[in-house]
Amino acid sequence: MDLEPFSEHTETRWVLAPRGKMRVPGVIYATEDLIRDMDDKVLEQLSNVATLPGIVRAAYAMPDAHWGYGFPIGGVAAFDPEAGGVVSAGGVGFDISCGVRTLLTGLTREDILAVQEPLAEALFAHVPAGLGSTGHITLNEAEMDAMLEGGAQWAVERGWGRPEDLERIEERGRMAGADPAQVSARARERQRKEMGTLGSGNHYLEVQHVTAVYREDIARAYGLAVGNAVVSIHCGSRGLGHQIGTEFLKKMVQAAARYGIDLPDRELACAPIDSPVGRQYLGAMRAAINCALANRQIITHLVREAFAGVLPEADLRLLYDVSHNTRKEEEHEVDGVKKRLFVHRKGATRAFGPGHPLIPEDLRPFGQPVIIGGTMGTASYILAGSETGERLAFSSACHGAGRAMSRRQATRTWHGRDIVEELRRRGIIVKSPSLRGVAEEAPGAYKDVSAVVEAADAAGLAHKVARLEPLITIKG
């Protein structure tokens, strides 16, 4: 992407002044090299988001930003309902509440290596993965409603997990304001047999080990040290979330016209927050968040079962669960005044700084854990929300590496079997039902996650705490 339209405020903060119909500036947090590697659509989409009614401060893009549907992936924007603010399905994305949770194990890298193959087989057998994968749970209508209303709390009440898990999940495992009545019959049908499944695409289950610690005090509070083994789970709301996104994008195109909203791009379809369509979407979207939280909770239970059969001494305690495709109602300071805002984070992670009341009490002095997933065969990172993140981008950070090429391009460049063998030579076992899916998610198809994390840290969005590298990867 050409840097010419931007002014460099710091080495990691680049500002696009309002032009045309933009109501606010566009801001990218990234190094010069990362921005040059971004596709030109990021500039176009960032500019378009800045034209939406009620937007506050700026339209932001994180260091891993790339082209998305309507909003860039890695996009953050907050809207004020008192100033005509809107809600946009494209600003959340199709995989609503896709996110990552990381579990501590109480084990070491050596413990895992001693049983690496049987543990990989057990995890692959226990956790369904792949396109259209289904699990052993089938929800009737009453249980579907209860799940959409209760999220991870519903899952724990039915024996999938521990009550203490809820303390380490955003919203304590249940997103308030969900309205199951706004979730269509088609969305429900798509999800009926998909609870407790990874799905496909960039979703994964990984056993990882800590290879570096950058902030000893925070790492100690999080329970992380070099050599520790952890488990990370990356997935979302599966078919239900995708169906909700698809349906409401169509409704919002019509709503935007009714309310006189001038859309620079049809993909930015939106509706006023307080309109009937806006309220209906928020109810359905919150239900999808609960679906994703319940899904990751059930997978956590299945992971614990798999470990119990191979490494019964493992103590799989939840470090944190954070989503990166959401729209949350939050209080933020704007021009010295606290305001109720609706913050869209699409491919971006909430990253509250130290002292925030929504962080678990024992972690509150250190900032919220921020989990940055890599792709198969590359590093992942644990960060902590910073003191400066609130004023920089409404307490938001990146969510991963960001794709560098399309999935079609990746399958033309790599063969899945070759990647599996190459990673095995590096000591990483990959299990997947689809070799094509492995090729689509080849390490080379993504940006350098370490460069993305360094930029987020340098910008002050979040503090780098620990680096994780995979030992076992279960891919969809």
Task: Cite the active site residues.
Answer: 399
Domain containing residue 363: CATH number: 3.90.1860.10
Task: Note the pLDDT of residue 376.
Answer: 85
pLDDT of residue 134: 84
Side-chain half-sphere of 368: how many Cα atoms within 13 Å? 29
Does residue 406 belong to any structural domain of this protein?
yes
Going by DSSP bridges, is the β-strand pair 380-385/369-372 parallel, antiparallel, or unpaired? Answer: antiparallel
Residue 145 lies in a domain: yes
Identify whether 2 is part of a domain: no
Any domain includes 285: yes
Domain boundaries, position 468: 7-475
Q: What is the DSSP string of 403-462?
A: BSS-HHHHHHH--HHHHHHHHHHTT-EEE-S-HHHHHHT-GGGB--HHHHHHHHHHHTSE
Q: Considering the domain boundaries, does residue 1 fall inside one?
A: no
Domain membership of residue 262 (yes or no) is yes
- Amino acid 217: pLDDT: 98
Quick check: is 164 in a domain?
Answer: yes
In-domain check, residue 174: yes
> Are the C-beta atoms of 305 and 280 separated by less than 8 Å?
no
**pLDDT the model gives residue 130:** 81
Structure token digits, residue 211: 């290879």
Mean of all residue pLDDT scores within the chain: 96
Task: Map residue 167 onto helix, strand or coil.
Answer: helix
Which pLDDT value is given to residue 375?
A: 83
pLDDT of residue 476: 79
Q: What's the token pair of residue 66?
A: 């790339």
Give the count of domains, the chain: 1
Q: What is the largest CA-CA distance in the chain?
A: 64
Report pLDDT for 132: 79
Q: What pLDDT score does 345 carry?
A: 98
pLDDT attached to residue 443: 87
Residue pLDDT, tens place only, 228-244: 999 999 999 999 999 99
Taking the chain, what is the end-to-end CA distance rounded to the nearest angstrom? 31
Give the tens place of pLDDT for each residue, 159-209: 999 999 999 999 999 999 999 999 999 999 999 999 999 998 889 999 999
- Residue ranges of the chain with pLDDT lower than 50? none
